[in-house]
């Protein structure tokens, strides 16, 4: 057994250890980058632990946490706090999006980041973001699509199966003005590629007029190029640079 003096010394020593432990803990927490807190919420993504709401999508269920959804999405905040069925229901059906897309949407709400697998998935995620009025996610998806298309060489653009005109119409329908404006310029500046595709005929009169006006190469350039080639051929001379 310990006498009174020894107990006091032990208590004092434990207090000293506790204070230093707390200081170290606070110092460690203050040094944690912002991404640590974002990624830590990912542990709760699509997990039943502490979940208080379940989304039903395409015959499957996805558990979620109201507090996170309300804090990150104004539409869901209104949905869960207002006089709506969802405010009193635990099981909430979701329509108009696939499970994969909705999980990507939840991942953004939980972690503040997203990584679409491709242009098609990014467009689906953009539509979901527009549905729930998460404008920042919409802009992220717009930037992803634009970056992906810009990085494609001409040969890949000519052979790809993606319907650019359909992408344009979806962007307009879902109020993605930045993307729709950029896509029109993209079609115009790659005129020789997209004008050969069957979906080019699906452009509206207004869109077609814009593309023809801003097309590259322009009719004037092609005309001058043809005249130059005719001139070179008639003189039977060869370009010294080539």
Structure tokens at 34: 């912002």
The length of the chain, given as a count of residues: 242
What proportion of the chain, given as a percentage, has pLDDT over 90? 64
Residue 22's pLDDT is: 38
Phi, psi (rounded to 5 degrees) for 58: 50, 45
Element (DSSP H or E) covering residue 159: helix 154-159
Which pLDDT tens digit goes with each residue over 146-166?
999 999 999 999 998 999 999
Beta strands of 19-160 (E only): which ranges?
A: 53-57, 60-64, 91-93
Structure tokens at 14: 């434990």
Give me the residue spans of the domains in the chain.
152-241
Decide if 72 contacts 109 (C-beta within 8 A): yes
What angle is formed at CA 43 by the lines to CA 39 and CA 49, rounded to 5 degrees? Answer: 150
Q: Which residues 6+ apart lie within 8 Å of 172 measured at CB?
A: 180
Distance CA 171, CA 173 (A): 6
Which pLDDT tens digit goes with each residue over 200-228?
999 999 999 999 999 988 878 778 877 88
Task: Name which residue leads in pLDDT, 85 or 168.
Answer: 168
Residue 218's pLDDT is: 83
Confidence check: pLDDT of 232 > 90: no
Residue 225's pLDDT is: 74
Which pLDDT tens digit goes with each residue over 103-139?
999 999 999 998 899 999 999 999 999 999 999 999 9
Neighbour-count burial of 167, counting CB atoms closer than 10 A to its CB (0-12 exposed, 13-18 middle, 19+ buried): buried
């Amino acid at each position: 057994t310990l006498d009174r003096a020894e107990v006091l010394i032990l208590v004092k020593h434990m207090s000293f250890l506790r204070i230093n432990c707390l200081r170290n803990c606070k110092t460690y927490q203050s040094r944690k980058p912002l991404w640590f807190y974002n990624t830590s919420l990912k542990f709760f993504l699509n997990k039943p632990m502490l979940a208080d709401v379940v989304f039903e999508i395409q015959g499957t269920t996805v558990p979620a946490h109201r507090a996170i959804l309300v804090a990150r999405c104004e539409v869901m905040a209104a949905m869960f706090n207002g006089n709506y069925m969802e405010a009193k229901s635990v099981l909430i059906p979701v329509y108009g999006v696939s499970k994969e897309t909705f999980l990507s949407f939840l991942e953004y709400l939980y972690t503040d980041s997203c990584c679409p697998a491709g242009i098609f998935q990014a467009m689906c995620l953009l539509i979901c973001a527009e549905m729930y009025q998460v404008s920042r996610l919409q802009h992220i998806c717009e930037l992803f699509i634009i970056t992906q298309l810009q990085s494609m060489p001409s040969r890949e653009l000519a052979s790809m199966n993606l319907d650019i005109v359909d992408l344009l119409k979806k962007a307009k329908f879902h109020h993605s003005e930045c993307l729709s404006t950029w896509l029109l310029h993209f079609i115009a500046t790659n005129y020789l590629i997209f004008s050969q595709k069957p979906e080019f005929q699906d452009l509206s009169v207004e869109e077609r007029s814009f593309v023809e006006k801003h097309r590259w190469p322009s009719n004037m350039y092609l005309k001058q190029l043809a005249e130059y080639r005719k001139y070179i051929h008639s003189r039977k001379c060869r370009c010294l640079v080539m």
